Amino acid sequence: DAKTTQPPSMDCAEGRAANLPCNHSTISGNEYVYWYRQIHSQGPQYIIHGLKNNETNEMASLIITEDRKSSTLILPHATLRDTAVYYCIVASNTGKLIFGQGTTLQVKP
């Protein structure tokens, strides 16, 4: 399974967009990019996933570079409740999800 690299922590002002980067330079052609988040003391929560095209849902947008070696998760208007650890995962075709250390996002008032 391809590995991902994320910054350990980021800050964001409440109401502003949070842009969380992820590098996955060894991603294979059939592997998806997934984003999950874990709010303190809760189980991880699925956010969004993509293969090649940019994706948007009610929670976030996912921008994948044309070479697929990196991606950015965008929370358009961050709130205090978005404070969490965000995990970028590249899923193999077996579907096994391997979590790294993620990025701790702190949204500040």
Contact residues for other proteins (CB under 8 A)? Answer: 30, 32, 34, 36, 38, 42-46, 49, 85, 87, 91, 93-102
**Residue placing its CB nearer to other proteins in the complex, 25 or 93:** 93
Beta carbon of residue 53, minimum distance to other proteins (angstroms, whole number): 13
Order across the sheet with 61-64: list the strands: 18-23, 70-75, 61-64, 55-56
Task: Say if residue 59 is exposed, middle or buried (CB neighbours under 10 Å; 0-12, 13-18, 19+).
Answer: middle
Cβ–Cβ < 8 Å for 102, 87: yes
Q: Shortest approach of other proteins to residue 71 CB, angstroms?
A: 16
* Complex with other proteins: residue 53 or 94, whichever CB lies closer: 94
Least distance (Å) from other proteins to the CB of residue 31?
8
